[in-house]
Amino acid sequence: MFAWSSATKAAEGQIRFAHVQADENFRFLSVKFVGLFRQISTEKIMKSKLTVISRFGVLALVLASMSFAGLAVAEESPASKSSSVSVKDKTFMHKAAKGGMMEVAMGRLAEQNGKSDDVKSFGRRMVTDHSKANDELKSIAEKKGVKLASKEPSEKWSSDKAYMDMMVKDHEKDLAEFKDEANNGSDPDVKKFADDTAKMVQEHLDLAKQTQSKLQ
């Protein structure tokens, strides 16, 4: 009887110890699980914050880049620049542009309606040379913020002689104006254009006089 009671007590003791050990293990696992859950939750929150911050950072960089690009375009746009060209230079540019377009228009008429081959050839050269000079002047004007007339004038054809007489007179006048701008202008680019084109005008004047003499 005593042995059975001792065995029973021993068994009860082992059962209690097993329960206590199980409770300890459960608490330990519970603490571990809670800690692990908190760690996972914290990592997820941090990753979410980093993702949000990264996205905001990328958005900020994109907006900053767009703003900078817009500012650069605004600074480079000719329309945003205030012209620093002097009144004298502007006056020359406007007259040169108008005269150049007239030379092209009359040159086309001479090439189409001229009776003399020399007059036709002269008109053809006027179209080629003055079209090139007009484009160069237009490019300079855009960089300087100067708006030039772009509509080609409407001209009428009269005769070979009338055309060549006009060409001699116009080129004498143009040569004087281009030389004056080359010597007394203010803007370096406009002055260079005037100096380079004056050489072309001189060649046109010489050719105009030769062609004119053949029509006498």
The predicted-structure confidence for 64-97, as pLDDT tens digits, reads as follows: 555 544 444 444 444 444 567 899 999 999 999 9
Q: What is the pLDDT of residue 216?
A: 72
Is the pTM above the cut of 0.75? no
Averaged pLDDT for residues 101-119: 96
According to the 3-state scheme, what is the secondary structure of the chain? CHHHHHHHHHHHHHHHHHHHHHHHHHHHHHHHHHHHHHHHHHHHHHHHHHHHHHHHHHHHHHHHHHHHHHHHHHHHCHHHCCCCCCHHHHHHHHHHHHHHHHHHHHHHHHHHHCCCHHHHHHHHHHHHHHHHHHHHHHHHHHHHCCCCCCCCCCCCCCCHHHHHHHHHHHHHHHHHHHHHHHHHCCCHHHHHHHHHHHHHHHHHHHHHHHHHHHCC
Q: What is the pLDDT of residue 14?
A: 60
Q: What is the pLDDT of residue 55?
A: 54
